[in-house]
Amino acid sequence: MPVIATQQLTKRYPRVTALDGLSLEVGDGVTGLVGANGAGKSTLIKILLGLSDPTSGSAQVLGHDVRDDGAALRSRVGYMPEHDCLPADVSATELVVHLARMSGLPTDAARERAADTLRHVGLYEERYRPIGGYSTGMKQRVKLAQALVHDPDVVFLDEPTNGLDPTGRDEMLGLVRRIYDDFGISVLVTSHLLGELERICDQVVIVDGGVLLRSSTVADFTRASAQLAVEVAHDTAGAAAALTAAGLRVSREGETLLVEIGAGVDGDDTDDTDAGAVHDTVRDVVADGYGLVRLESRRHHIAEVFDPTTTGPSGPTSDQGATDDAA
Ligand SMILES: Nc1ncnc2c1ncn2[C@@H]1O[C@H](COP(=O)(O)OP(=O)(O)OP(=O)(O)O)[C@@H](O)[C@H]1O
């Protein structure tokens, strides 16, 4: 059973269609939901929590229908909202224990779980200080702790790296990954930054204007856009010309030649068999007097081949774009 499934999910506000026929499936693990501001990410999360009704279409979380089963699903789901919503004059411990009790835990268990989750997010030492004196990074960690305290099966994290400096971002991303690795809790995490989610996610879903642009595993995203890095002993320019003459797409980065696997030996778009054929062609051409020094696979980052700020996929993945996946 998928963790999240939606079918033709649509949400219309009076002036804007926030989600437009969105159909997707999300499995176990860490899934990134990526899109520019206004793409519909928060709207999707609110519908998945049963807090907002879709205009049409349907959605299930852990098999619970979001319209009919809101209370049951919320007991199994944790939610970290995007905006600052924390009371300034209580401590992290007071707040997280309180929320744990509201979700049904007895007082002793609530205290224990609160201490565990605050330790997990790195706030154990500071847990008795009022939240009003916390930095942005510490406040984000309190929001994360309250999302985890009732031991949910899945958590929705809305822009957890918002407002953090690069070090704070890295630490938060590490924490998000560990939610699944250490506790087995699946994660749906939103960001407008594809590059940062790519580092920690198993699956990435890209939305734009409420429409699904693409949903696939991180490995599949980059498989179609791999390159071979080739170094030769002599005459790099000659080797580049010979590889091009053999039908390969070649670029040069210093003394390294980058051969597109996605281009295939015949210039067509990639499939898995092309990778082996390109590899063989490179070996044959280079063996012919250039002296092979290095031949290794490289993958592009997703952000290099897919720019969510444009309205579609670009570069070597364009054959696998929105319409196929959205169907
Ligand atoms: N309650 C609302 N009433 C009217 N329009 C809304 C409402 N909530 C969201 N919208 C609009 O729906 C669109 C999608 O908003 P949403 O907040 O889901 O985007 P987002 O991807 O989460 O972006 P952000 O990161 O900026 O929050 C936007 O155009 C937004 O202005």
Q: What is the pLDDT of residue 1?
A: 84
Q: Is 207 in the pocket of ligand 1 (CB under 6 A)?
A: no
Mean pLDDT of 283-292: 89
Given the CA of residue 210, which atom of ligand 1 is nearest to it? 14
Does position 322 have pLDDT exceeding 60, yes or no? Answer: no
**Domain spans of the chain, in order of start:** 4-221, 226-299
Mean pLDDT on 72-85 = 88
Residue nearest ligand 1's atom 28 by CA = 38
* Mean per-residue pLDDT, 29-58: 93
Contact criterion met (CB below 8 Å) for 22 and 43: no
Query: Residue 59 has what pLDDT?
Result: 97
Distance 42 CA to ligand 1 centre (A): 7
- The confidence band for 37, taking pLDDT boundaries of 50, 70 and 90, is confident
The reply to whether 226-299 shares the fold of 4-221 is: no
pLDDT digits (tens, 9 = 90+) for 201-260: 999 999 999 999 889 888 777 666 678 889 999 899 999 999 999 999 999 988 999 998
Q: Tell me what pLDDT residue 246 has.
A: 93
- Domain 4-221: assigned CATH number: 3.40.50.300
pLDDT by residue (tens digit) across 123-164? Answer: 988 999 999 999 999 999 999 999 999 999 999 999 999 989
CB count in 10 Å sphere of residue 1: 8
Ligand 1 centroid–CA 100 distance in Å is 29
C-beta 13 within 6 A of ligand 1: yes
Q: Which residue has the higher pLDDT, 296 or 242?
A: 242
Task: Say whether pLDDT at 85 is over 80.
Answer: yes
Share of the chain above pLDDT 70, in %: 86
C-alpha of residue 211 to centroid of ligand 1, in Å = 13
CA 8-11-15 angle, to 5 degrees, is: 140
What rounded mean pLDDT belongs to the chain? 86
pLDDT of residue 268: 45
Q: Which atom of ligand 1 is nearest to the CA of 19?
A: 14
Q: Which CATH number fits domain 226-299: 3.30.70, 1.10.357, 1.10.3120, 3.40.50?
A: 3.30.70
Whether the CB of 83 sits within 6 Å of ligand 1: no
Distance 229 CA to ligand 1 centre (A): 43
pLDDT at 288: 81
What are the tokens at 243? 């590889």
Return the pLDDT at 300.
67
Say yes or no to pLDDT of 101 above 80: yes
CA–centroid distance, 159 to ligand 1, in Å, is 14
Distances (CA, A) of 231 to 159, 235, 287, 307: 41, 10, 12, 30
The 10 Å Cβ neighbour count of residue 231 is 18
